[in-house]
Structure 1
């Protein structure tokens, strides 16, 4: 296990270093004056030069990269040009919404998809299977922003069960915060659950053809016990792979839904920073999102080893 973990940690660190280099090159070193972009094409040249000095753009690229990485390691990400506040504070504030929203959406996705996928596989080519696959196809085809609008019309405008948008903040209590995220989480989970349900069904069908499943049935194990106790665990490798990708997507791709529900999350911060030409915030947001995606993939690798010991043994 130590060799397996060590290899994954080395890969994690190497990927983070490579990602930081790519992000820095794209946003810092490529042709173009970042200070000019921040201040606009009609800005006074002296003001542009002063901002360039303030941002450290007059220093060599390698020195700027080292300074940025040191800031990443110490939490000093600089100050936002548009918001005039530390970038680290902005990120903490927005992550306090985006991460719980992604976790809620992923929990709904997993609960719906695993039940639907196993149900469909257990009734292969029967009406239940056809119905689940038809619903999943509809779920994949529905844009999540359109579904979000439907949820607002139904649960906010007509039934008045939930607020149409906004976030009260966790300082108002756990229940109001969770309540404000329920509709956005459902809007995000529908498409992801439809995709994951189809993956789960295919993986379970493949495992159902294995010899050990017939042996379990021959020993008198119930169909439910066979499905949930033996088949699903052996089918989880491809399912967990997709779940990891989906969770990373939920962390990084909530811009549209956050805009529909007017939620001050990380995705909306990136959109606003791009509109404001606040490249300092954009750079650190991109690096943060990339780091979270890499960390999720690392966690998925560890889950592989926990679920299937053969994965761990193959790396020894």
Structure 2
């Protein structure tokens, strides 16, 4: 197990190092002067020189890259050009919305997809299976922002059960609280989950059907175990590896994919921050947000690899 974890950890660190170099290089390759891009064509030479000195653009690229990575490792980030505060504070503030939204969407995705996938597999080539596959195909075809608009029209405009957008906050002192906050995130989470659940349900169905054809399943049934008990005790556990693969990727996609949905529901999350930073040409914020999202994706994949080993010991043995 220690060898397995050591290899995965080395891959994790190498991926982060390569990603940081690519993120930095992409911004370095932007046409023109970065300070000029931020301030626009009407900027005076004095203001350009001042911003270049503030951003450290008067130093060599390698020196700036080392300073940026070193600051990230020490928990220090540069100040945003448009907000005047460290980007770490801006990102941490917006994650209070984005992370709960992604977790809620992932929870809904898992519940919907496992239930529908197992249901479809247990009724293979029957009406229930065909119906689930048809719904999943529809879910894959429709983008999440379109689901968001439909949910707003139904539950906010027509039924008026929830608000059409905005976020009251988690603090009761500001007029929010736990329930108002969760209520505000419910429709965005559902709009994200419907698309991801459609994909994961198909993966779950295929994985369950493949395991159901194995010899140990027939042996369990021959020993008198009921079909339901065999399905939940033996089949589902062995079908979880491909499901976990997609689930890990989906959670990473949910964190990064909230950008559009947050703008539809006017939520003050990472998505809004990125859009505002791009509109304000605040490349310092864009760089740190992108690096933060990359780090989240890599961490999720690392956790999924560890979960693989706990579910299937053969993976640990192959890496020993």
- TM interval, shorter chain, is over 0.9
What is the aligned residue count?
316
Match of 2:284 in 1: 280
Match of 1:231 in 2: 235
What's the TM-score, normalizing by structure 1? 0.98
Distance 1:273 1:219 in 2: 63
What's the TM-score, normalizing by structure 2? 0.97
* Structure 2 counterparts to residues 1-316 of structure 1, below 5 A: 1-28=1-28, 32-171=32-171, 172-316=176-320
Aligned-residue offset at 1:216:
0.6
Relative to structure 1, the CA distance from residue 30 to residue 161 in structure 2 (aligned partners, 3 Å threshold; closer, same or farther) is closer
Q: Is the deviation greater in 248-257 or in 27-36? A: 27-36
Query: CA offsets, 1:175-220, max 9 Å, x none?
Result: 1111110000000000100010001001111101100000010111
The answer to whether the Cα contact below 8 Å between 1:109 and 1:190 also exists between their aligned partners in 2 is yes
Aligned-residue offset at 1:62:
1.3
SS in 2 for 1:42: coil
Structure 1 unaligned blocks of 5 or more: none
Query: CA offsets, 1:101-127, max 9 Å, x none?
Result: 000000000100001001101111011
Structure 2 unaligned blocks of 5 or more: none
Aligned-residue offset at 1:169:
0.9
Aligned-residue offset at 1:29:
5.4
Query: CA offsets, 1:254-305, max 9 Å, x none?
Result: 1211111000111221121111110000000010000000000000100100
SS in 2 for 1:100: helix
SS in 1 for 2:317: helix
Aligned-residue offset at 1:153:
1.4
Distance 2:169 2:123 in 1: 44
Q: Is the deviation greater in 7-16 or in 141-150? A: 141-150
Aligned-residue offset at 1:28:
2.9
Aligned-residue offset at 1:32:
2.6
Output the aligned Cα RMSD: 1.0
Distance 1:143 1:3 in 2: 41
Distance 1:75 1:165 in 2: 33
The answer to whether the Cα contact below 8 Å between 1:29 and 1:61 also exists between their aligned partners in 2 is no
